Amino acid sequence: MDMSSIEHRRVPCGEVQLDCALAGSPDRPLVVLLHGFPESWYSWRHQIAALAPEFYVAAPSLRGYGASDRPREVSAYRLPRLVEDVRGLIRGLERERACVVAHDWGGGIAWAFAIDHPEATEKLAVLNCPHPAAFARALRSSPRQLLRSWYMFFFQLPRLPEWVLSRDDFRALDRGFRGWVKRKDREVFSDADLETIKDSLRPQGATTAAINYYRAAFRFRADAERYASAPPIARPTLLIWAEEDAALGKELTYGMEPLFRGPFSIRYIADCSHWVQQEQPELVNQYLLDFLR
């Protein structure tokens, strides 16, 4: 897709304005794409190209990232406030409902959004982010998953995580993105891709804002507990899961059926890392199109 065909607009979402990449005709059904840590709207470049011919696609940079508003206090990154950003975005685009597609931290927001706003959720597709109940259960019972989640505890420290992430021009991102991928037949992240991803963390305070998602999750645990004990999700739901995720084990997807009372399906992608929609875009796009259609 020619990037020049993507419109960027700051959309008022209630508390904040979000920089949003928009593509496709506004006359078509709305699909909202929510990125993860430490990324931006650009994580969805392959999906925007695939979805725009049939949908109106909105891919925001979440609060704190890139050109979106960046509140300073940790409490501004509590999950219920992130959920209301999505509700505000949909209304800001003059809609009442949307299909929500999300990855990683965006997935955490999407699960909570479908719980809080089933009336605004047309369909839900989540990539490599466990349902909050499944994740809470794993942290209590699985030493292996607890070990995989070490970085969440590290992010609770003051200032040091920001320094580690940003030093040497965000060299840690080069290792994290390229070091995790399993695909060898093509370059998943070009130098230009990594520069664009880093750009979302370069503005003053953006790295702290991204890490504050994790700090808020720990400081306001009642939020996570509420979503972990919520009623089953009623909307049609698709979970796409890359099997070689270094941070989130495949076992997080087992036994999820009781968490849904609407249609629910899982699509596994073998030999693929956490960066699933960028590493295997053709397969992810096909699964999404089949589901959203």
Say what the pLDDT of residue 1 is: 55
The residue behind tokens 């996570």 is: 224
Q: Taking the domains of the chain in order of start, what are their residue ranges?
A: 3-292
| pLDDT per 10-residue tile (average), the chain, 293 residues | 83 98 98 98 98 98 98 98 98 98 98 98 98 93 90 96 97 96 95 97 98 97 95 97 96 96 97 98 98 97
Closest among 85, 89, 17 to 57, alpha carbons compared: 89
How many whole angstroms separate alpha carbon 72 and alpha carbon 91?
25
What are the catalytic residues? Answer: 104, 214, 274
Contact criterion met (CB below 8 Å) for 173 and 198: yes
Alpha helices (H) along the chain: 45-51, 79-92, 105-116, 132-141, 143-148, 150-154, 160-180, 191-199, 206-219, 221-228, 276-279, 281-292
At 2 the pLDDT is: 63
Quote the tokens at residue 248.
Answer: 């989130």
Pick the CATH number of 3-292 from 3.40.50.1820, 2.60.120.650, 3.30.413.10, 3.30.70.1230: 3.40.50.1820
Asked if residue 143 has a cis previous peptide bond (ω within 30° of 0), the answer is: no
Q: Contact at 8 Å (CB) between 28 and 58?
A: no
> Model confidence over 180-215: pLDDT tens digits?
999 989 999 999 999 999 999 999 999 999 999 999
